[in-house]
Amino acid sequence: MKILTFLLLLSALLFGENMIKIATYNVENLFDLKRSGHEYSEYIPFTKSNWNERTYKIKLHNTAKVIKDIDADIIGLQEIESLQALKDLRYTLKRMGLYYQYYKIANLKGTIIKVAILSKIPFVYTTEIAVQQSYRYRNILEAKFKINGEDLYLLVNHWKSKAGPESMRVVSAKKLRKRVEELGKEKNIIALGDFNSDYEEYKLFKRKRKHNDTGGITGINHILGTINYKMQAKEAKIEDGDFYNLWYDEPDKAKRFSYIYRGKKEALDNILVTKALLDNQGIDYKCGSIHTLNKPYLYKGKSLYRWQMSWRKPRKHYGRGYSDHLPVIAEFIY
């Protein structure tokens, strides 16, 4: 491992290769301590649920510990309640030695939880993409960066959960694909987040009739085109407008997961890229770099060590645990 690290560093010095690390992480319900009237009942502050200063600080610390271990240059976050919660997380990270100067949350729509970005790299701009007016759909957060003179677009997603049918995720996928067409199919575009869809959702949801209301069509596989490129990145020849799912660049299928539901592993969190990030020109995905943060402390037995609460009502916070999702990370060179 030391020899490999030395060779990578030597290569970077000789050939001038620079790298940025980009990640996505569903932090599982980071709520602040202000009453907005829209909280989940167990996150109404200063009630019998124990959501108070003590448990909030533990949640912030535990979430920050994970993000610090990732140490991404840019990280897309899901399930952030408010700008205040994002600022508190950013402050906690700063106290732990990781400073994100740039930050943004998608707060134009009053959904209960939202997507956000923390970045060490300045934004050219940020904007929100409204999927639909309905509060059942969360806005997509778009950020543009300038990397070594090239434009890079990041689109942070959190699609409808499996409480809703596939047609709802198809709506989000169509909006995302339309945005790619507006930006330009030849652009460097990364779409990441909690898609609530496995990288091979078209296989899994056939067994779930309540989800399959689309005749077998899935948002992530069919609408975004990822079903066409089931090979490693160096072999993929992407068509204009399609996305390549970086999970296919992980050769070990057993490692392609970010979520565990009733003992079954799924990759609900994905990082998707357009063809421009696989063309060996300018900014490019670093082949073989897709992975999860797979630290032992993120597990409890064979399950993920999610934020712990009682199941008996009223539900109470125990003040321990992390998230029900693993972070997903990829590296890009320029």
The CA distance from 188 to 278, in Å, is: 9
**Is residue 264 within a helix (H) or strand (E), and if so which, with residue range?**
strand 264-266
| Non-local CB neighbours of 177 within 8 Å, separated by 6+ positions | 223, 224, 241
Tell me the DSSP string of 290-323.
-EE---GGGEETTEE-PPPB-SSSSP-B-S----
What are 264-288's pLDDT values in tens digits? Answer: 999 999 999 999 999 999 999 999 9
| SS3 call for 188 | coil
Total residue count of the chain as it appears in this document = 334
Smallest CA-to-CA distance from 254 within 263, 246, 245, 265 is with 265
Contact predicate 130/109, CB 8 Å: yes
The CA distance from 126 to 117, in Å, is: 10
The CA distance from 98 to 31, in Å, is: 21
Q: What is the pLDDT of residue 157?
A: 98
What are 115-160's pLDDT values in tens digits? Answer: 999 999 999 999 999 999 898 999 999 999 999 999 999 999 999 9
- Write b or e for each residue in 167-183: b if 16 or more Cβ atoms lie within 10 A of its Cβ, otherwise e: ebbbbbbebbbebbeeb
Residue reference for tokens 């899994």:
204
CA dihedral (73, 79, 80, 82) positive or negative: positive
Residue reference for tokens 């904007």:
127
Task: Take residue 232 and report the two structure tokens written for it.
Answer: 């490693």
CA 36 to chain CA centroid, nearest Å? 25
Smallest CA-to-CA distance from 69 within 334, 332, 322 is with 322
The pairing of strands 140-147 and 150-158 is: antiparallel
What's the chain's average pLDDT?
A: 94
Q: What is the pLDDT of residue 4?
A: 39
Smallest CA-to-CA distance from 141 within 212, 91, 86 is with 86
Contact predicate 328/23, CB 8 Å: yes
The CA distance from 161 to 175, in Å, is: 17
Residue reference for tokens 């990732």:
70
Count of Cβ atoms closer than 10 Å to residue 113 Cβ: 23
Q: Which residues of the chain have pLDDT under 70?
A: 1-16, 207-208
How many H helices and E strands in the chain?
Answer: 5, 17
Q: What angle do CA 145, 140, 118 make, to 5 degrees?
A: 45
